[in-house]
Copies of this chain bind each other. A is one copy, B any other.
Amino acid sequence: MAKRADGGRGEAGPAKRADGGRGQAGPAKRADARRNYERLLVAAGQAFAEHGADDVSLEEIARRAGVGIGTLYRHFPSRQALLEAVYADQVEGLEVLAGKLLTAESPGDAVAEWLHALVTFGRTKRSLSAALVEMIGRDSELLSACGATLRRCSTAVVQRAQDAGVVRADVQGTDLLRLTHGLILASDAGAGEAGQTERMLRLVIDGLLTGGSAEPAS
């Protein structure tokens, strides 16, 4: 537990937002730079999800991404920066997904899919959490901004399903965030076998649907 990272006095600074590669300011990055940036983000996301954010060497991430270690460090000056970027990227991905779900055919299925996405995201986030805790307080603007985004998306998806009458009226968007959070904690505390969370998740979804509150399916 609590592996990786040493070298110590690396300062790391406020991790200047890492800007990404997409848009915003800057003198426009070169094409290969943007490509490598994306590759690193993907590789890091996978690696973190598999081994935990603290048990992956940056050199392995660079290897997976097919770039040199120097390239990784140019894009992400510190492990923190990479962590933040992965986190922000995933939240952005969720935001995009929410956008699609808001125009999906079935608002009910949209909620289910949204929950699935939240759980998947939450699992990764949890593996990041130990490391993310470190940046709370220092750069918590990023975290709070991402939190706000998630709340907004979740509320919108739920709202639409409620308007369509398929989800109970007394459910709040933020409830989903809490539910998934608890669900993840529960499922990896209870030595859960695979599929365990899947079952619980379905249970939750059934509970959210209108009319499903009287008789729990035995």
Contacts and interface: CB of A to CB of B under 8 A. Distances in A.
Given A137-B189, A189-B137, A130 B8 contact: no
Contact of A135 (B1, B4, B6): B1
Interface residues of A, number: 27
A123 interface: no
Smallest CB-CB A-B distances: 8 pairs: A1-B134, A2-B131, A2-B134, A1-B80, A137-B189, A3-B5, A6-B6, A2-B5
A38 interface: no
A12 B55 CA distance: 13
A79 interface: yes
A133 interface: yes
A189 to B, nearest CB: 5
Nearest to A51: B8
Contacts of A197: none
A55 B8 CA distance: 6
A140 to B, nearest CB: 8
B5 A4 contact: yes
A168 to B, nearest CB: 32
30 contacts: A1-B5, A1-B78, A1-B79, A1-B80, A1-B131, A1-B134, A1-B135, A1-B138, A2-B2, A2-B5, A2-B54, A2-B79, A2-B80, A2-B130, A3-B6, A3-B7, A3-B8, A3-B10, A4-B6, A4-B8, A5-B5, A5-B6, A6-B6, A6-B57, A8-B55, A129-B133, A130-B130, A130-B133, A137-B189, A140-B189
